């Protein structure tokens, strides 16, 4: 039976991906309350209490093996700069959705693309996923580039399916299959 105990720590040349803890609440709040970071989340920025609740939801999902999320930290300083993980995990059909955010001062440095490799590998090889998908705001072109760089294919467009701030938005759906991920690894 799959367990996230001990929590799977992942590493890249510049990053250490570790468990989020209650001690991360201030940094997590800085991310989740930044209007630029959450601009395409389809919800308002979170206050400190909302961040505490979100961290507890994340911890519960990990304990119950329903979801997993990593703190994205710089290896050389330990600074937390974002988070990413899997949610909406459909175990019966072997797929999950990936979600992520990154502090604005670390945008366009390749950190999220770097983190995707070990996270996708963990999803496919350790969680038994056959498919990983992402849904995003159609205007979030940076996120679309991250997904495409990781090998995701834009598969669909859900038209005006999300309502926030007085407007409907479209949601592109991206997908990556295990065999496509493995083929990319073999081509490297």
Average pLDDT over residues 34-45: 85
Taking 90 as the threshold, does the pLDDT of residue 154 lie above it?
A: yes
Look up the pTM and report it.
0.94
| Window from 114-123, 150-159, 161-170 with minimum mean pLDDT | 161-170
% of residues, the chain, pLDDT over 70: 99
Reported as a single tens digit per residue, the pLDDT across 94-128 is 999 999 999 999 999 999 999 999 999 999 999 99
pLDDT the model gives residue 53: 96
Taking 90 as the threshold, does the pLDDT of residue 152 lie above it?
A: yes
Look at 43 and 69; give whichever has higher pLDDT.
69
Asked whether 129 and 123 are in contact (CB, 8 A), the reply is yes
Pairwise CA distance, residues 120 & 134, whole Å: 12
Taking 70 as the threshold, does the pLDDT of residue 25 lie above it?
A: yes
pLDDT, mean over the chain: 95
Domains of the chain by range and CATH? 10-187 (3.40.630.30)
In which band, very low, low, confident or very high, does the pLDDT at 38 lie, cut at 50, 70 and 90? Answer: confident
pLDDT the model gives residue 102: 95
Average pLDDT over residues 46-69: 96
pLDDT the model gives residue 43: 83
Taking 80 as the threshold, does the pLDDT of residue 1 lie above it?
A: no
Average pLDDT over residues 18-26: 96
In which band, very low, low, confident or very high, does the pLDDT at 188 lie, cut at 50, 70 and 90? Answer: low
């Amino acid at each position: 039976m799959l367990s996230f105990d001990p929590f799977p720590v992942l590493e890249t040349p510049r990053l250490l991906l570790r468990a989020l803890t209650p001690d991360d609440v201030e940094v997590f709040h800085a991310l989740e309350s930044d209007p630029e970071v959450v601009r395409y989340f389809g919800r308002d920025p979170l206050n400190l209490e909302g961040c505490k609740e979100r961290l507890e939801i994340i911890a519960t999902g990990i304990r119950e093996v329903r979801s997993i999320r990593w703190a994205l930290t710089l290896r050389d300083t330990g600074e937390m700069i974002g988070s990413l993980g899997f949610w909406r995990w459909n175990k019966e059909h072997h797929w999950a959705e990936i979600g992520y955010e990154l502090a604005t001062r670390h945008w366009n440095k390749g950190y999220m693309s770097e983190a995707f490799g070990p996270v996708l590998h963990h999803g496919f090889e350790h969680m038994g996923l056959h498919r990983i998908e992402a849904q995003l705001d159609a205007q979030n072109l940076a996120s679309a580039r991250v997904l495409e760089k990781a090998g995701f294919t834009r598969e669909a467009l859900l038209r005006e399916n999300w309502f926030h701030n007085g407007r409907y938005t479209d949601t592109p759906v991206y997908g990556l299959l295990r065999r496509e991920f493995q083929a990319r690894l073999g081509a490297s």
